[in-house]
Amino acid sequence: MVEQSDILKALQAEQDWHKAFIFTSNKEVIVSNNGSLKPEEVEFYTNAFNDRDTTVGEGFFVDGEHFDVHRFHPPLIYGRRGGPDDGEGIALARVKPNNPKGEESHWFLLITYLLPILSAKAVPQMVKFCEANIGNTANE
């Protein structure tokens, strides 16, 4: 079983990510790196895969910053905010955890990444991180 401290160390080792959060389908934040999520944000993310129109229409929020969602491909959703000089990307992965507790059906990894990092680099890193540290990202 992977310990929280080991997961946090692994998150901190991901130098291309600006912020990172892992939380469960029970809305428990397991670890966070370089930020915090409000309870209503966690609630939205745990339901983000349920309705494409709502998720793409409303976008994502982290620390009051709005991100447009432009890709909805379960088990991954991603988007960005800002322009070509100050952009920031965001990505959410839904994971079948290796070691669920109780009634947890999924864990989620949410990351943000600053330019010049793009989704073409960050999203594959995210999938690799999930599979190495927390579970399987294959869509069920």
Segment 63-78, tens digit of pLDDT: 889 999 999 999 999 9
Helix (H, G, I), strand (E, B) or coil at 13: helix
Find the mean pLDDT for residues 95-113. 92
Output the pTM of the full model. 0.94
**What ranges make up the beta strands (E) of the chain?**
19-24, 29-33, 60-62, 65-73, 76-81, 88-97, 107-114, 135-136
Determine the 3-state secondary structure of 90 from DSSP: strand
110 vs 93: CA distance, rounded Å = 7
Q: In angstroms, rounded to a whole number, what is the distance separating the alpha carbons of residues 16 and 117?
A: 7
Q: What is the total residue count of the chain?
A: 140
- The per-residue pLDDT for 5 is 85
pLDDT at position 140 over 70:
no
The average confidence (pLDDT) of the chain is: 93
Q: What is the pLDDT, as a whole number, of residue 139? A: 65
Contact 18, 34 (CB under 8 A): yes
